[in-house]
Amino acid sequence: MTCRFLNVGVCQFGATPDKEKNLCKIRKFIENARTAEVVVFPEYSMFYSSNMFRDVTLLRKVAEPLDGKFVLQLSTLAREYSTHIVCGLIEQEKGNIYNTVVVINDRGELVTFYRKSHLFDAYGYQESKVFSSGFCEPTVFNIGSARCSVVVCFELRFPELFRVAALKGSEVIFVPAAWFRGDLKEDLLHVLARARAHENGMFVIVCNQYSESFCGRSCIVDPWGVVLLDLGAGEKYVEIRIDVDEVAKARETVPVLRLRRKLLYTKIISL
Protein backbone atom coordinates (compact mmCIF):
# COMPACT_ATOMS: atom_id res chain seq x y z
CA MET A 1 0.00 0.00 0.00
CA THR A 2 1.37 3.40 -0.99
CA CYS A 3 1.87 5.82 1.89
CA ARG A 4 0.86 9.44 1.40
CA PHE A 5 3.28 12.07 2.63
CA LEU A 6 3.35 15.83 2.19
CA ASN A 7 6.51 17.91 2.59
CA VAL A 8 5.54 21.27 4.09
CA GLY A 9 7.69 24.38 4.50
CA VAL A 10 6.61 26.99 7.07
CA CYS A 11 8.01 30.55 6.76
CA GLN A 12 7.69 32.60 9.93
CA PHE A 13 8.61 36.24 9.35
CA GLY A 14 7.49 39.78 10.01
CA ALA A 15 6.07 41.73 7.06
CA THR A 16 6.88 45.43 6.70
CA PRO A 17 5.19 48.44 5.02
CA ASP A 18 7.60 47.89 2.09
CA LYS A 19 6.11 45.43 -0.42
CA GLU A 20 9.38 45.00 -2.30
CA LYS A 21 11.23 44.19 0.91
CA ASN A 22 8.59 41.61 1.76
CA LEU A 23 8.91 40.02 -1.68
CA CYS A 24 12.68 39.82 -1.21
CA LYS A 25 12.15 38.00 2.10
CA ILE A 26 9.69 35.61 0.47
CA ARG A 27 12.13 34.87 -2.35
CA LYS A 28 14.96 34.12 0.10
CA PHE A 29 12.77 31.72 2.05
CA ILE A 30 11.74 29.86 -1.11
CA GLU A 31 15.36 29.72 -2.27
CA ASN A 32 16.14 27.86 0.97
CA ALA A 33 13.33 25.35 0.45
CA ARG A 34 14.75 21.89 -0.10
CA THR A 35 12.07 19.26 -0.52
CA ALA A 36 8.91 21.26 0.22
CA GLU A 37 5.92 20.54 -1.99
CA VAL A 38 4.17 23.54 -0.45
CA VAL A 39 5.63 26.62 1.24
CA VAL A 40 3.31 28.51 3.59
CA PHE A 41 3.58 32.21 4.44
CA PRO A 42 1.66 34.31 7.02
CA GLU A 43 -1.37 36.54 6.77
CA TYR A 44 -0.52 40.08 5.51
CA SER A 45 2.74 38.81 3.96
CA MET A 46 2.42 41.43 1.22
CA PHE A 47 2.13 44.41 3.55
CA TYR A 48 1.77 45.22 7.21
CA SER A 49 1.68 48.58 8.97
CA SER A 50 0.69 49.15 12.58
CA ASN A 51 -1.76 51.89 11.61
CA MET A 52 -3.42 50.11 8.68
CA PHE A 53 -6.57 49.28 10.66
CA ARG A 54 -7.17 53.02 11.03
CA ASP A 55 -6.26 54.16 7.53
CA VAL A 56 -8.36 52.78 4.70
CA THR A 57 -6.74 55.26 2.31
CA LEU A 58 -3.38 53.62 2.95
CA LEU A 59 -4.78 50.18 2.24
CA ARG A 60 -6.40 51.35 -1.00
CA LYS A 61 -2.97 52.52 -2.16
CA VAL A 62 -1.22 49.21 -1.44
CA ALA A 63 -3.98 46.68 -2.20
CA GLU A 64 -3.69 44.77 -5.47
CA PRO A 65 -5.97 42.63 -7.65
CA LEU A 66 -5.36 38.90 -7.92
CA ASP A 67 -3.64 39.47 -11.27
CA GLY A 68 -1.44 42.23 -9.82
CA LYS A 69 2.33 42.37 -9.39
CA PHE A 70 2.48 40.59 -6.03
CA VAL A 71 0.60 37.47 -7.13
CA LEU A 72 2.46 37.43 -10.45
CA GLN A 73 5.76 37.46 -8.54
CA LEU A 74 4.56 34.57 -6.38
CA SER A 75 3.56 32.68 -9.51
CA THR A 76 7.03 33.18 -10.96
CA LEU A 77 8.66 31.89 -7.77
CA ALA A 78 6.34 28.87 -7.60
CA ARG A 79 7.16 27.95 -11.18
CA GLU A 80 10.89 28.64 -10.81
CA TYR A 81 11.26 26.52 -7.67
CA SER A 82 8.55 23.94 -8.51
CA THR A 83 6.58 24.32 -5.29
CA HIS A 84 3.08 25.31 -4.24
CA ILE A 85 2.78 28.61 -2.37
CA VAL A 86 0.15 29.62 0.22
CA CYS A 87 0.43 33.33 1.01
CA GLY A 88 -1.57 36.21 2.46
CA LEU A 89 -2.06 39.53 0.69
CA ILE A 90 -4.27 42.60 0.69
CA GLU A 91 -6.60 42.35 -2.29
CA GLN A 92 -8.65 45.04 -4.01
CA GLU A 93 -11.59 43.99 -6.13
CA LYS A 94 -14.41 46.26 -7.38
CA GLY A 95 -13.65 48.87 -4.74
CA ASN A 96 -13.61 46.38 -1.86
CA ILE A 97 -10.51 45.48 0.14
CA TYR A 98 -10.14 41.88 1.28
CA ASN A 99 -7.75 40.03 3.58
CA THR A 100 -7.00 37.25 1.11
CA VAL A 101 -4.89 34.12 0.88
CA VAL A 102 -3.85 32.76 -2.51
CA VAL A 103 -2.82 29.20 -3.36
CA ILE A 104 -0.49 28.89 -6.33
CA ASN A 105 0.58 25.53 -7.73
CA ASP A 106 4.05 24.41 -8.82
CA ARG A 107 3.30 25.49 -12.40
CA GLY A 108 2.64 29.06 -11.27
CA GLU A 109 -1.15 28.83 -11.66
CA LEU A 110 -3.61 30.35 -9.20
CA VAL A 111 -5.43 27.28 -7.85
CA THR A 112 -7.79 29.06 -5.49
CA PHE A 113 -8.08 32.03 -3.16
CA TYR A 114 -9.85 32.56 0.13
CA ARG A 115 -11.10 35.89 1.48
CA LYS A 116 -11.18 36.04 5.26
CA SER A 117 -14.83 35.76 6.28
CA HIS A 118 -14.62 36.44 10.02
CA LEU A 119 -12.79 39.71 10.57
CA PHE A 120 -10.73 40.51 13.66
CA ASP A 121 -13.00 42.80 15.68
CA ALA A 122 -11.59 41.88 19.09
CA TYR A 123 -8.96 42.93 21.66
CA GLY A 124 -9.63 46.55 20.71
CA TYR A 125 -8.93 46.05 17.00
CA GLN A 126 -11.55 46.48 14.30
CA GLU A 127 -10.47 44.88 11.05
CA SER A 128 -13.95 45.43 9.62
CA LYS A 129 -13.33 49.19 9.48
CA VAL A 130 -10.99 48.72 6.54
CA PHE A 131 -11.68 45.23 5.14
CA SER A 132 -14.76 43.69 3.57
CA SER A 133 -15.74 40.19 4.67
CA GLY A 134 -15.43 37.29 2.31
CA PHE A 135 -18.51 35.13 1.92
CA CYS A 136 -17.42 31.68 0.87
CA GLU A 137 -16.86 28.29 2.49
CA PRO A 138 -13.33 26.90 2.44
CA THR A 139 -12.69 25.06 -0.82
CA VAL A 140 -10.78 21.79 -1.12
CA PHE A 141 -7.78 21.50 -3.45
CA ASN A 142 -5.08 18.90 -3.95
CA ILE A 143 -1.37 19.18 -3.29
CA GLY A 144 -0.04 15.84 -4.45
CA SER A 145 -2.41 13.28 -2.96
CA ALA A 146 -3.33 15.46 0.05
CA ARG A 147 -6.70 17.25 0.12
CA CYS A 148 -6.23 20.73 1.54
CA SER A 149 -8.10 23.90 2.55
CA VAL A 150 -7.32 27.41 3.85
CA VAL A 151 -8.75 29.70 6.54
CA VAL A 152 -7.18 32.78 8.15
CA CYS A 153 -5.90 33.57 11.67
CA PHE A 154 -8.85 34.74 13.83
CA GLU A 155 -10.96 32.04 12.18
CA LEU A 156 -9.29 29.48 14.46
CA ARG A 157 -12.03 30.63 16.83
CA PHE A 158 -14.78 29.53 14.41
CA PRO A 159 -14.87 25.73 14.45
CA GLU A 160 -17.69 25.68 11.90
CA LEU A 161 -15.24 26.49 9.10
CA PHE A 162 -12.96 23.61 10.00
CA ARG A 163 -15.87 21.20 10.27
CA VAL A 164 -17.18 22.24 6.85
CA ALA A 165 -13.72 21.73 5.35
CA ALA A 166 -13.42 18.30 7.00
CA LEU A 167 -16.86 17.22 5.77
CA LYS A 168 -15.89 18.28 2.25
CA GLY A 169 -12.93 15.92 2.48
CA SER A 170 -10.10 18.20 3.58
CA GLU A 171 -7.24 16.48 5.39
CA VAL A 172 -4.84 19.42 5.81
CA ILE A 173 -5.87 22.98 6.58
CA PHE A 174 -3.48 25.92 6.30
CA VAL A 175 -3.95 28.89 8.62
CA PRO A 176 -1.86 31.93 7.61
CA ALA A 177 -1.90 34.18 10.66
CA ALA A 178 -0.86 37.51 12.13
CA TRP A 179 -1.49 36.56 15.77
CA PHE A 180 -0.88 39.54 18.02
CA ARG A 181 1.29 39.36 21.10
CA GLY A 182 -0.39 39.52 24.51
CA ASP A 183 -0.81 37.76 27.82
CA LEU A 184 -1.09 34.00 27.17
CA LYS A 185 -1.81 34.66 23.47
CA GLU A 186 0.80 32.10 22.38
CA ASP A 187 -0.80 29.42 24.54
CA LEU A 188 -4.23 30.30 23.17
CA LEU A 189 -2.97 29.99 19.60
CA HIS A 190 -1.83 26.43 20.26
CA VAL A 191 -4.92 25.47 22.26
CA LEU A 192 -7.19 26.49 19.40
CA ALA A 193 -5.05 24.84 16.73
CA ARG A 194 -4.93 21.58 18.70
CA ALA A 195 -8.68 21.63 19.29
CA ARG A 196 -9.50 22.24 15.62
CA ALA A 197 -7.11 19.44 14.59
CA HIS A 198 -8.37 16.81 17.01
CA GLU A 199 -12.09 17.51 16.71
CA ASN A 200 -11.90 17.08 12.93
CA GLY A 201 -9.11 14.51 12.66
CA MET A 202 -7.02 16.73 10.37
CA PHE A 203 -3.63 18.42 10.18
CA VAL A 204 -3.72 22.10 11.13
CA ILE A 205 -0.76 24.14 9.88
CA VAL A 206 -0.50 27.62 11.38
CA CYS A 207 2.02 30.03 9.85
CA ASN A 208 2.27 33.15 11.97
CA GLN A 209 4.14 36.41 11.65
CA TYR A 210 6.95 37.20 14.08
CA SER A 211 7.75 40.84 14.91
CA GLU A 212 7.23 43.44 17.61
CA SER A 213 3.50 43.07 16.99
CA PHE A 214 3.16 39.31 16.42
CA CYS A 215 4.18 36.38 18.60
CA GLY A 216 5.44 33.73 16.19
CA ARG A 217 4.93 30.18 17.55
CA SER A 218 3.84 28.86 14.14
CA CYS A 219 2.92 25.20 14.49
CA ILE A 220 1.91 22.00 12.78
CA VAL A 221 -0.62 19.90 14.68
CA ASP A 222 -1.47 16.33 13.72
CA PRO A 223 -4.99 14.79 13.56
CA TRP A 224 -4.65 13.56 17.14
CA GLY A 225 -4.11 17.11 18.42
CA VAL A 226 -0.37 16.65 18.99
CA VAL A 227 1.99 19.53 18.14
CA LEU A 228 4.59 18.10 15.76
CA LEU A 229 6.39 21.39 15.16
CA ASP A 230 6.64 24.65 17.09
CA LEU A 231 8.72 27.38 15.46
CA GLY A 232 9.04 29.38 18.67
CA ALA A 233 10.39 32.92 18.30
CA GLY A 234 12.30 34.60 15.48
CA GLU A 235 12.18 34.71 11.73
CA LYS A 236 12.86 31.22 10.39
CA TYR A 237 12.03 28.56 7.85
CA VAL A 238 11.38 24.93 8.79
CA GLU A 239 10.35 21.93 6.71
CA ILE A 240 8.52 18.85 7.94
CA ARG A 241 7.17 15.71 6.30
CA ILE A 242 3.65 14.82 7.42
CA ASP A 243 1.95 11.45 7.01
CA VAL A 244 -1.42 12.26 5.48
CA ASP A 245 -2.64 8.68 6.09
CA GLU A 246 -2.79 9.56 9.81
CA VAL A 247 -6.00 11.43 9.01
CA ALA A 248 -7.88 8.24 8.10
CA LYS A 249 -6.51 6.48 11.18
CA ALA A 250 -7.59 9.29 13.50
CA ARG A 251 -11.07 9.52 11.95
CA GLU A 252 -11.56 5.79 12.26
CA THR A 253 -10.41 5.70 15.90
CA VAL A 254 -12.34 8.83 16.93
CA PRO A 255 -15.21 8.90 14.37
CA VAL A 256 -16.72 12.25 15.31
CA LEU A 257 -17.56 13.10 11.69
CA ARG A 258 -19.58 9.91 11.35
CA LEU A 259 -21.21 10.20 14.80
CA ARG A 260 -22.57 13.69 14.24
CA ARG A 261 -26.33 13.97 14.74
CA LYS A 262 -27.10 16.16 11.75
CA LEU A 263 -30.80 16.63 12.49
CA LEU A 264 -29.92 18.01 15.89
CA TYR A 265 -27.95 20.84 14.29
CA THR A 266 -30.62 22.19 11.98
CA LYS A 267 -32.06 24.26 14.83
CA ILE A 268 -28.63 25.50 15.89
CA ILE A 269 -27.78 26.71 12.39
CA SER A 270 -30.77 29.07 12.39
CA LEU A 271 -29.80 30.74 15.67
150-173 tens-digit pLDDT: 999 999 999 999 999 999 999 999
The pLDDT value recorded for residue 265 is 84
The pLDDT value recorded for residue 266 is 81
Q: Other C-beta atoms within 10 Å of 121: how many? A: 12
The pLDDT value recorded for residue 264 is 86
What is the tally of structural domains in the chain?
Answer: 1
Burial class (CB in 10 A: 0-12, 13-18, 19+), 72: middle
What is the arithmetic mean of pLDDT over 129-149?
96
Coil, strand or helix: which one is 69?
helix
- Cα separations (Å) of 122 from 90, 175, 200, 209? 20, 18, 26, 18
The pLDDT value recorded for residue 1 is 57
Q: Tell me whether strands 172-177 and 203-208 are parallel, antiparallel or unpaired.
A: parallel
DSSP letter at 68 equals: S
Whole-number Å distance between alpha carbons of 51 and 72: 27
Please write the tens of the pLDDT for every residue from 167-204.
999 999 999 999 999 999 999 999 999 999 999 999 99
**Banded model confidence at residue 110, pLDDT cuts 50, 70, 90:** very high
- Cα torsion 41, 44, 46, 51: sign: negative
What is the arithmetic mean of pLDDT over 118-144?
96
Please write the tens of the pLDDT for every residue from 206-257.
999 999 999 999 999 999 999 999 999 999 999 999 999 999 999 999 999 9
Whole-number Å distance between alpha carbons of 11 and 118: 24
Q: Other C-beta atoms within 10 Å of 18: how many? A: 12
| CATH number of the domain enclosing 51 | 3.60.110.10
Element (H, E) at 19: helix 19-31
In which domain, by residue range, is 90 found? 5-269
Percent of the chain with pLDDT over 90: 94
pTM, two decimal places = 0.97
Please write the tens of the pLDDT for every residue from 13-61.
999 999 999 999 999 999 989 899 999 999 999 999 999 999 999 999 9
Burial class (CB in 10 A: 0-12, 13-18, 19+), 153: buried
- Cα separations (Å) of 161 from 134, 136, 180, 189, 206? 13, 10, 21, 17, 15
DSSP letter at 154 equals: G
